[in-house]
Structure 1
Amino acid sequence: VAPKVEMAQRNEENVLALKSVEFTWPEFLGSSEVNVEDFWTTMETEVIEQVAFPASIPITKFDASVIAPFFPPLMRGAVVVNTEKDKTQDMQPVPGNGSALVRLLQEGTCKLEELGSYSGEELQYLLEQCDIPFSPEDSRDQLCFSLLALYESVQNGARARPPPAHFTGGKIYKVCPHQVVCGSKYLVRGESARDHVDLLASSRHWPPVYVVDMATPVALCADLCYPELTSQMWGKNQGCFSNPTEPVVSVSCPELLDQHYSVDVTEAENSVQHPVTKSATRRIVHANTKPDPSDPSAGHRSLSLCPELAPYASTTDSKLSSVRQRPIAFDNATHYYLYNRLMDFLTSREIVNRQIHDIVQSCQPGEVVIRDTLYRLGVAQIKTEAQEEGEEEEVASVVE
């Protein structure tokens, strides 16, 4: 339930048609927390009613702000969020370096709450640091607007992918290297980095390494949305392997190696420390062989920089599940959400059952398959030893 590496995948053609469903959004932006149990119970009840009473009218108006992601129960965090209501769908590309802006905010050089008190020269300095173009004749209001526009763009997860006309935005999900689904989100609006941050923040354990093709926007969005959390996970490195303002270097991450750990089950559930790596360090990386030249920190996020991650390089895009990637469009909202949840569950169960079968086949006499406290599969050797009192006890040693 706590993979060391999780990889993002998407299916933009797994959609819900909008011709018979109208999504509504709350007039007042409140909490982004969603009630997972309530949402899925409502979906199940609705589909049962449609079967029992075929003449009943399916849901035609749908509150998009209550849509919950799917998480295996043991991988779901105490608080699950969906911030789609906060996404700006029609945001245009904004000039500037988001990484530099986040750094200025972290250092305290730029304080948005004090922006109105900055002089024109101070604002121009900030814009220069963020590579935001401006004219000497620009007013203070124009300079402030340019800076705030870049901030909003980064917080929004950069520019969202436009969804196909008359359809929802598809589906994103994160999987472990074995392709078991760790969490999935069904999008109404176009995908942005903010959706990935929602999945990560809603997880019981934020993975030590998250591989996604939009790594920089995801990391910067997380820095703005969860500054206290990210300061513990990567400080001012913005999710990179090393400081993005310094030359690119290879980084060894020995905590990612397969080792035998004694898992402390008494550890606080809300601890930032990962139960497997025993470290608070997290990284947002990509597996692109040709990083985006317009992204100055892309080179610091390459999966190839870490030798311990080399075994995962071939799994990032070569094992896409054909079932999960199948194009499909629904007209009925309840059918759409329940079908996707069921497919996530069934495809994951098939993979786990195959793993158990393979391990059972490899067991030698006197060995049994077990799971540890984090539900990792292992093999235990049963040893019977006579005790001084004449009793016998079984000693199991886990072999991963």
Structure 2
Amino acid sequence: MQAITMIFGWTVFLGISTYRKSCLNCGMIYRYQEWEEGIHNFDDHIILSLHLCLMIRNALQTHTAISKVIEIIETTEKVSFPNKERVLQAYLHFEALTNHDYTYSCVSCGYSPAVVVMDLHKKGVFSMPLSEIPSPPDNYDGHVDINNFWEAVATEIISRGLIPCGRKNPFVVPPSYHHWAPWIGPHTRRSNSVLNTEFEKMQSPKIPNGGENDDDGDDKINEERLTDELVNLKVQEVRALCKQCGVDDKGSKVDLVMRLSEKMSDRVTYNKVFEKVWGASGGWAVITCPCGVVYSVKFNLRAESPRDFVDLLLSWKHFPKVSVYDYARGLALHANHRQPGIFAPFQGRLLDPTPENVKQASEGKVHVNMPWLKLPKMPADKDGHPLTGSSQHFALNDVFHQGNSKDQREVLRKLELVPELTGLINSQCVEQLFSGMRKNNYFLNVTTPSTHIFLQRNILHHYNIARNQKMKRQYSKIVPPDVAMQCDSHGRIVLAHSPSAGMTTGSSVKEQAESQELNDGSEQRPHGDFTSLHKLSAHKAGWGQELQDSQEQVLSQVLDETKSPTQHLAMVNNIILTHFDFWSLGLERDIDGTILNCCLKVIEKDNAASLQWILLPVFIPGHWILCTHCSQPISWPLDEACNE
């Protein structure tokens, strides 16, 4: 029996007692640890209500530190809480004992997305002197057991509630090169053995022979990052750093930075500069899908390089088809240096870097189609991606860094050269993620390494859940209440059944039309059949229905470009259609929204019951679906801002 402090809701109770037992054989202590009464026992001295724990979890999602939450409650309720650091540890204890799956995947893109976006949050760091990290064992090959590492981190968090204050915790997980793992979702990673080769950054930089393949892009990006950060330091700090590195400290700030940059090829100088610039870890690297859901996170011990992202990608079960990164050339070179031919063809570029292709790409006169991003290749390539069937891999630059490279050939890495990606892939989704996570730095960056990575992984987990729930709510608005939604074998949401006029996943419009003729008059498919919300797509052959002569004549008149674009042609409700509205019908993907709205108005009047299935792709920009009224494909490439 022991006096404790119980925090229940906004009230603090003092002098509460708990009972505990000890084993008669070994003396092990058994304590109260049940949640049925809505409370969480941290260390027999502090007990939190589950309501408070959930409120703290939600506060963290709004970038509010636990200490701020406590201060608000103390001021409002006129109560005094225990030490804020102990309350933080109590909350972490609660999260460590909660059965989180940490799936880290998107319900729209599945477990293995075909397109990923990568970047580094370099301001999310924890204090860690570089000199205190021990060298890895001689037999270390860069592989770490991900489950063992994260279980060790959770054990340290849990043990804080069991070991008395002031006693050394034997379960602390210090930063190290050989026992430090990223987090990758269980369905996304290849196995529990994942890569972390940061120890290779300690090696002396290689001297290139002048060829493109000689530069693996690893050390170069390290030094570039450090040089960029040196510019942000004050002149006095740069001058002091020059003295420490044995560099002439006379001259302007630019002169000092240039001298340090030249001297950083020496590993000793590099380490001194790194410790001065960061004074902590190297930030955390993430891989997300275009929806912004985080799939992988790696907490770097040293400055970022393409090596960190290649470690993550090579640990995936299925290598993405398109990798968007701010230094795509370095990513492709380093990946091909470690696993030749993985970014192919053309070193991950979209076209062969001939002078003619470079010129046409610079002028915007060439495009590279990737139809398999919407409709899987049939038959699939050998070792093709399960969602696309393609075996090609491309490394493309994000929008804000397309003009950074002086190499003219890098114009062949532009996103806008791919029609299937233009306007549909938000390459800045990671920056948007960081803009929110940056607001957590004021409390995360002062925590210990284990607390930092555990809490950050947990925050990203709840962030992913919130984004997935938002997408599910959007789908539920357009799916009838009697139709269930569930995940298929690839982790994407599908419908439990579809109407007889629906489309079979991955098949062309022509095939579906033939199937519909064969099954005319037959019963609907059983509820076990699935209709994917992501592969409702059509083939050009789907436009095979021949028009009658009268229809051909009307269509020719409507699309006649010699006519005045403002001439009135038709009126639906209060909407007047002109030649200009109909001219968009000549494009493959983009159709004027006015035309679609009028078509839907006509369909709504004629067959309102079919409208719920026509609206199915509203939240899936760029995808196709058959009209249940006329059996023709409809495209609705709405932007995310138009979802309402």
* TM category, shorter: 0.7 to 0.9
For residue 238 of structure 1, what is the aligned residue in structure 2? 347
Structure 1 residues 56 and 283: CA distance shift in structure 2, 3 A? farther
Q: Provide the secondary structure at the position in 2 that maps to 1:394.
A: coil
1:101-140 → structure 2 map (5 Å cutoff) = 101-102=212-213
Q: How much has 1:101 moved relative to structure 2?
A: 3.1
Per the alignment, residue 270 of structure 2 pairs with none
1:378 match? 494
Paired residue type of 1:302: K
1:166 to 2:299 alignment: no
Tell me the secondary structure at the aligned position of residue 296 of structure 2: strand
Aligned match of 2:142 in 12, 28, 32?
Answer: 32
- Residues 20 and 223 from structure 1, CA distance in 2 versus in 1: closer, same or farther, beyond 3 angstroms? closer
The DSSP-based 3-state class of the residue aligned with 2:175 is strand
1:295 to 397, 400, 407: 407
The one-letter code of the counterpart of 1:204 is K
Alpha-carbon contact 2:122-2:282 (below 8 Å) kept: yes
| Counterparts of 2:173 and 2:427, CA distance in 1 | 40
> Residues 41 and 243 of structure 1: is their aligned pair in 2 closer, same or farther, counting only changes over 3 Å?
same
- Measure how far apart 1:341 and its partner are: 1.4
Q: What is the aligned partner in structure 2 of residue 198 from structure 1?
A: 311
**Judging changes above 3 Å, is the alpha-carbon distance between structure 1 residues 170 and 321 closer, same or farther for their aligned structure 2 residues?**
closer
The equivalent residue for 1:136 is: none
Aligned equivalents of 1:70 and 1:263: distance in 2? 34
Given that 2:324 and 2:427 are in contact with CA atoms closer than 8 Å, whether structure 1 keeps it comes out as: no
Superposed displacement of residue 26, structure 1? 1.4
Please tell me whether the aligned partners of residues 137 and 178 of structure 2 are also in contact (alpha carbons under 8 angstroms). no
Specify whether residues 333 and 263 from structure 1 end up closer, same or farther in structure 2 by C-alpha distance, changes over 3 A only: farther
Q: How far off its partner does 1:77 sit?
A: 1.5
- Partner SS state of residue 211, structure 1: strand
CA pair 185-62 structure 1, distance change in 2 beyond 3 A: closer
Q: In the alignment, is residue 348 of structure 1 matched against residue 455 of structure 2? A: no
Q: Which amino acid aligns with 1:63?
A: S
Corresponding residue of 1:256: 373
Of 36-45 and 331-340, the range deviating more from structure 2: 331-340
Map Cα deviations across residues 69-115 of structure 1 (whole Å, 9 max, x no partner): 111111112241011000148859x7886xx432xxxxxxxxxxxxx
Rounded to whole Å, the distance in 2 between the matches of 1:5 and 1:101 is 26
Change (3 A) 1:287 1:61: closer
Describe the superposition over 1:359-397 as per-residue Cα deviations: whole angstroms up to 9, x where unpaired: 12221243221222101112333669xxxxx9x953534
Structure 2 equivalent of residue 274 of structure 1: 385
- In structure 2, list runs of 5 or more residues that go unmatched: 1-110, 227-273, 359-365, 501-522, 534-644
Query: Contact 2:377/2:390 (CA < 8 Å) preserved in 1?
Result: no
SS of the residue corresponding to residue 2 of structure 1 reads coil
Q: Which stretch shifts more, 206-215 or 343-352?
A: 343-352
Answer whether contact 1:89 1:189 (CA < 8 A) is retained: no
Alignment of 1:68 with 2:181, yes or no, is: yes
Name the counterpart of 1:147.
Answer: none
SS in 1 for 2:495: strand
> Which of 293, 299, 302 is equivalent to 1:189?
302
* Deviation string, structure 1 residues 198-257 (Cα, Å, up to 9, x no partner): 111111211111100010000000111011x51xx514x111111224523421111112
Pick 1 or 2: higher relative contact order, CA cutoff 8 A, min separation 6: 1
Following the alignment from structure 2 to structure 1, what is the Cα–Cα distance between the partners of residues 470 and 405?
41
Residue 218, structure 1, aligned to residue 331, structure 2: yes
- Quick one: which of 431, 448, 451 aligns to 1:335? 451
Q: TM-score, normalised by structure 1?
A: 0.74
- Show CA shifts across 1:154-213 (max 9, x none): 263533133533210000101011111111111000001111111111112111111000
Q: For residues 372 and 436 of structure 2, what CA distance do their matches in structure 1 show? A: 33
Aligned residues, how many?
Answer: 333
Equivalent AA in structure 1 for residue 311 of structure 2:
D
Question: Which residue is 1:109 aligned to?
Answer: none
2:171 is equivalent to residue 55 of structure 1:
no
Q: Secondary structure at the match of 1:44?
A: helix
Q: How much does 1:304 deviate?
A: 1.1
Give 1:398's aligned amino acid. Answer: T
Deviation at 1:30, TM superposition (A): 2.8
Aligned to 2:531: 398
User: How big is the shift at 1:61?
Assistant: 4.6
AA matched with 2:280: F
The answer on whether the counterparts of 1:5 and 1:210 sit within 8 Å (CA) in structure 2 is yes
Whole-angstrom CA distance in 2 between matches of 1:263 and 1:184: 34
- Rounded Cα–Cα distance in structure 2 between residues aligned with 1:350 and 1:70: 19
Task: Report the CA distance shift for 1:363/1:70 in structure 2 as closer, same or farther (over 3 A).
Answer: same
CA distance in 2, matches of 1:330, 1:262: 53
Alignment partner of 1:183: what SS?
Answer: strand
Partner of 1:176: 289
Answering whether residue 133 of structure 2 is matched by residue 17 of structure 1, we say no
The verdict on how the C-alpha distance between 1:261 and 1:27 changes in structure 2, with shifts beyond 3 A counting, is closer
Letter in 1 for 2:448: N
Quick one: which amino acid aligns to residue 18 of structure 1? M
Contact in 1 for aligned 2:117/2:290 (Cα 8 Å): yes
Which one-letter code corresponds to 2:304 in the other structure?
E
| Contact 2:218–2:330, Cα closer than 8 Å, also in 1 | no
Going from structure 1 to structure 2, the CA distance change for 1:39 and 1:365 (only over 3 Å counts) comes to closer
Out of 59, 62, 84, the residue aligned to residue 198 of structure 2 is 84
Query: Which residue of structure 1 lines up, in the alignment, with residue 49 of structure 2?
Result: none
Q: Does 1:361 align with 2:487?
A: no
Decide whether aligned partners of structure 1 residues 321 and 15 sit closer, same or farther in structure 2, where only a CA change above 3 A counts. closer
Aligned position for 2:601: none
Identity percentage of aligned residues:
23
Counterpart residue number, 1:325? 438
TM-score by length of 2: 0.47
Contact 2:198-2:302 at 8 Å conserved across structures: yes
Change (3 A) 1:393 1:26: closer
After superposition, the CA RMSD in angstroms is 3.2
Cα distance in 2 for residues equivalent to 1:315 and 1:165: 27
Distance 2:425 2:527 in 1: 40
Q: Which runs of 5+ in 1 are unaligned?
A: 103-150, 385-389
User: 2: CA distance between counterparts of 1:20 and 1:154?
Assistant: 24
Question: CA shift at 1:34, angstroms?
Answer: 0.8
Q: Which amino acid aligns with 1:350?
A: A
Greater helix share, 1 or 2? 2
Q: What secondary structure, in the 3-state scheme, does the structure 2 residue paired with 1:80 have?
A: strand
1:279-319 CA deviation, whole Å, 9 max, x = no partner? 11110101235422423432111111111111344442463
Tell me the residue number matched to 2:628.
none
Contact 2:494 2:530 in 1 (8 A): no
Q: Is the Cα contact below 8 Å between 2:397 and 2:415 reproduced in 1?
A: yes
